[in-house]
Amino acid sequence: MAAARYLIVNADDFGRSPGVNRGTVETFERGIVTSASLMVRWPAAVAAADYGRGHPDLSVGLHVDLGEWAYRDGTWAAMYEVAPLSDSRAVAEEVARQLAVFRQLLGRDPTHLDSHQHVHREEPVRSVLSALACQLKVPLRDCHPAVRYCGSFYGQTGQGLAFPEAISVEGLLRIISALRSGVTELGCHPGEGNDMDSMYRSERAEEVKTLCHPQIRVALVAERIELRSFRDLQVA
């Protein structure tokens, strides 16, 4: 008998804008999204948290927001920076502040941790968030042995060039068929309305279409892949 395969589909940037909120809700209610990561610094975070409290089946984690960078003229340039990534004290203070806001908005701890543009993959942010994940007993993206992360569902290359094939129905079907046994987290960035200043904008609406396409659920059933959320995990 083949080993079981479980899929967590996590929508990043929840709370970033009203359009991102709409896309996240659409893909949770009509598509395959099971979890979301909340950016607490933005005005739309209040509405996102309200929705999360009213829909306990949607697990909500903290999407730590320390800045955003865009690839322009051959280099990465800061669009905004919340805390210097090389300053462990500043990072720890900002993470603590964002966690406090999350708790105020949701009335509970996050079900998981990750970061905007994966800045926690490098030190000292990695150590700060790893320590917090251990304290909260929740998974940190790409750092927990029980949850494999897949970032292939993304409509741009590493240099910010358009890569629509990756977020097409066919592209997602290929990802699904290649999933290995165990638990995989699939990152996604749904959104509607193009109402934000970000390097990743028009691709969000295409993600919504794909994540809600009926062929995707059919494929999950055919592949015997079960949808899960971070709420379903028992983290030691």
- Distances in Å between the Cα of 119 and the Cα atoms of 42, 59, 125, 180, 235 are 19, 22, 7, 26, 23
12 has catalytic annotation = yes
pLDDT range class, residue 234, cuts 50, 70, 90? low
CA angle 46, 47, 53 (to 5 degrees): 90
Catalytic residue, candidates 12, 13, 65, 114: 12
Q: Give the pLDDT mean for 66-81.
A: 88
**Token reading at 103:** 């708790």
Report the percent of the chain where pLDDT is more than 70: 98
Q: How far apart are CA 195 and CA 15, in angstroms?
A: 12
Among 11, 20, 10, 64, which residue's Cα sits nearest to residue 39?
64
Average pLDDT, the chain: 95
One-letter identity of residue 171: G
Burial class (CB in 10 A: 0-12, 13-18, 19+), 55: middle
Q: Who wins on pLDDT, 142 or 72?
A: 142
- State residue 116 phi and psi, 5-degree precision: -65, 130
Is residue 74 over pLDDT 90? no
pLDDT at 149: 98
pLDDT range class, residue 180, cuts 50, 70, 90? very high
pLDDT at 233: 84
Domain 5-232 of CATH type 3.40.50.620: no
CB contact at 8 A, 88 and 130: no
pLDDT at 1: 47
Q: Give the pLDDT mean for 116-131.
A: 97
User: What residues are paired with 67 via a beta bridge?
Assistant: 81
